[in-house]
Chain A
Amino acid sequence: MEIIVCIRRAPTTDARIKPAADGKNYDPAGINFDISEYDKFALEAGIELKEKHGGKATVLSLGPSAVSKELRTAIAMGCDAASLLVSDGNHDSWAVASALAAKIKTMPHDLLLFGWNSVDSQSSATGQMVAELLGLACVSVAVALEVKDGVAHVERLASGGNRERVVVKLPAVITCQKGLNKPRQPNMKGLMNAKKTVIDESPANAPADGVTVLRMDPPPPRPAGKIVGKGPEAAKALVGLLRNEAKVI
């Protein structure tokens, strides 16, 4: 089975994101980057399926050359090959999906895996757009995945916390959600192996963005806390406020 896992380089989940001076993107200063959190579930799923069914798992990304660090982590986890579409620019989901789809068309593929959402742009769009551009079916927010006889059996999160069970004939696109698996940690031997891997780099040639960011504003500062009194009377006042003002009890 030929599996392609698309990953994005994004700030770590504990990063403190604040708008950059241009007010249109976040300021990368002091931020640590990693594989976007949900993409790790896609990577683990791709590697597990390859280990079970044989074939090849290729990791694909679009971004600056520095993304090679995240690609090597994916190799260290167990991917067999890595491709990078090099671009230093910021692109919207459509531009990224277009460039990825153009590259994927040149690669053998039975299954395309994505994280359901990226932790920075939070557009939740790229996987579905790639499916559309390639004319493939797409199952989103997968929390369980098995492949048998060329068909993917997927459980996905539906409204109301329900789990929907679907089947989709491969090739198809599946976007992955937390709960699908427990992403493995790369080990030192894997990292040493990844060091020797040649990353297939080519220019991204992403089309122009369809969406223009006008402004990125920080969230409003949290209002100051309120001291409602001292001693037993404070408890009574606090309960009153929780019941009547905050309406949480």
Chain B
Amino acid sequence: MQNFESPDFFNLDDVLSEDDRNVRDTVRGFVDSNVMPVILDHYEAGTFPTTIIPKLGELGVLGATLPEEYGCAGMNNIAYGLINQELERGDSGVRSFASVQSALVMYPIYAYGSEEQKKRWLPEMASARAIGCFGLTEPDFGSNPAGMITRAVKDGKEWVINGAKMWITNGNMADVAVVWAKTGGSDDPKSIRGFLVEKGMPGYEVREQKKKASLRASNTSELFFSDVRVPEENMFPKVEGLKGPLGCLTQARYGIAWGALGAAMACFDIAKKYCAERIVFGKPLAGHQTTQHKLAKMLTEITKGQLLAWRLGVLKDQGKMNHFQVSMAKMNNVGIALDVARVAREMLGANGIMLEYHIIRHMCNLESVKTYEGTNDVHSLAIGQSITGLSAFG
């Protein structure tokens, strides 16, 4: 397989700073050296490539936008987006690992946590000495997290948690879980609070969800809480209600909007090179009109997605980004990435289903990425609400 050449039809490199390009190229080199040589075997075996975890910590991509005083890199959001793009060019599972650690665990500890929680966890997590997971989704509550059943009841200086969470990335590997639970009645989403549940706490059990046909190189688990007693200092002091977890999801979805482009760009690059070499009816496949039509459509969608992600990053760095814009970017970029992957898969014919050509792996992964962190339907309702001022949820 030839080295990756990233499509840049509208010269977006010209608007990226030298520092941001350096970050991207560094992570690209890391993925080439550390992810690509092992990813196919892990995907086939259904295991996460754990050997890259300390290397990701050393590289400094975990919680990269958080301040240096907590052991993080203090980077801007364009650089953070490019990190996600490059990691997902390797594999959506690898990007998911980093996204969960950064946006769903380190971010809420930083934004909602006490100073003690930040000092204890952030340097450990930035260096990958500690791994985190995020427990919001439940077996019966995905798109409507307000309905969650998991409860936390105060008992002296402890909270007692009961319930279950499902589809939890990194669950089986995590030293700490950010768990969202209702502290009031079952119909009171305003009582939702965040808790840091630590590995080994009595009553806390984790079971890996196996036999997935997507995100196979990613750890997905169920979390079970049976009278888990959590000290009160493990609760996030600074946030109440659904805006806590939803604030985390906005951060993660921002990363996904960039990450999905990485997978799309990989599929486009592989299909383009394959079609240049594959001879059909006496000439390269790339010389046929049907192929060129497909390539043109793929590149057009990737280019539009790149512009969307870049502009979203600029708005985020300026403090002007809103979650409706994030919904549009996540919905669009994952959608086009899956379309690009499917067309690329078809262009390679039978070879397209072989893991060695990577496209089928990206395609299967993107099926999950399309529905996790908000399905397209949910994101379209968020955008619809922004357009009309009327909520169509429920």
The chain A residues found within 8 Å of chain B, CB to CB, are: 14, 32, 34, 66, 68-69, 72-73, 76, 185-192, 194-195
- Please tell me which one of the listed residues B21, B26, B75, B79 contacts residue A186 in the complex, with CB atoms under 8 A apart: B26
- Please tell me which one of the listed residues B2, B3, B23, B33 contacts residue A188 in the complex, with CB atoms under 8 A apart: B23
Nearest opposing residue in chain A for B17, CB measure: A195
Contact A72 B19 (CB under 8 A): yes
- 11 residue pairs bridging A and B, Cβ less than 8 Å apart: A14-B2, A72-B19, A187-B26, A187-B59, A188-B26, A188-B59, A188-B73, A188-B83, A190-B60, A191-B19, A191-B26
Q: Which residues of A contact B21 (CB under 8 A)?
A: 69
Contact B23 A191 (CB under 8 A): yes
Contact B58 A187 (CB under 8 A): yes
Q: A188-B75, A189-B68, A192-B68 are in contact. Are A73 and B26 (CB under 8 A)?
A: yes
Query: Is B277 at the interface (CB under 8 A from chain A)?
Result: no
Q: Which residues of A contact B203 (CB under 8 A)?
A: none
Q: In the complex, A182 Cα to B300 Cα: how many Å? A: 40
* B interface size (C-beta, 8 A): 23
Contact B18 A72 (CB under 8 A): yes
Contact A188 B61 (CB under 8 A): yes
Q: Which residues of A contact B64 (CB under 8 A)?
A: 188
- Cβ of B358 to closest chain A Cβ, rounded Å: 17
Q: Which residues of A contact B25 (CB under 8 A)?
A: 32, 34
Query: Is B30 at the interface (CB under 8 A from chain A)?
Result: yes
Knowing that A73-B26, A186-B22, A191-B19 are A-B contacts, what are 12 other residue pairs whose CB atoms are under 8 Å apart, sorted by A's residue number? Answer: A14-B3, A66-B18, A69-B18, A69-B21, A72-B18, A76-B22, A76-B26, A188-B23, A188-B60, A191-B22, A191-B23, A194-B22
Q: In the complex, A48 Cα to B59 Cα: how many Å? A: 18
Q: Which residues of A contact B79 (CB under 8 A)?
A: 188
Q: B61-118: which have CB < 8 Å to A?
A: 61, 64, 68, 73-75, 79, 83
Query: Is B54 at the interface (CB under 8 A from chain A)?
Result: no
- Cβ of B304 to closest chain A Cβ, rounded Å: 22
- Please tell me which one of the listed residues A14, A66, A185 contacts residue B26 in the complex, with CB atoms under 8 A apart: A185
Nearest opposing residue in chain A for B19, CB measure: A195
- Cβ of B321 to closest chain A Cβ, rounded Å: 22
Q: Which residues of A contact B29 (CB under 8 A)?
A: 185
Q: In the complex, A32 Cα to B8 Cα: how many Å? A: 12
Contact B73 A73 (CB under 8 A): no
Q: In the complex, A197 Cα to B61 Cα: how many Å? A: 21
Q: B285-334: which have CB < 8 Å to A?
A: none
User: Considering residues B22, B25, B30, B64, which has the most beta carbons from chain A within 10 angstroms of its beta carbon?
Assistant: B22
Contact B59 A185 (CB under 8 A): yes
Contact B22 A73 (CB under 8 A): yes
Q: Which residues of B contact A14 (CB under 8 A)?
A: 2-3
Q: B239-297: which have CB < 8 Å to A?
A: none
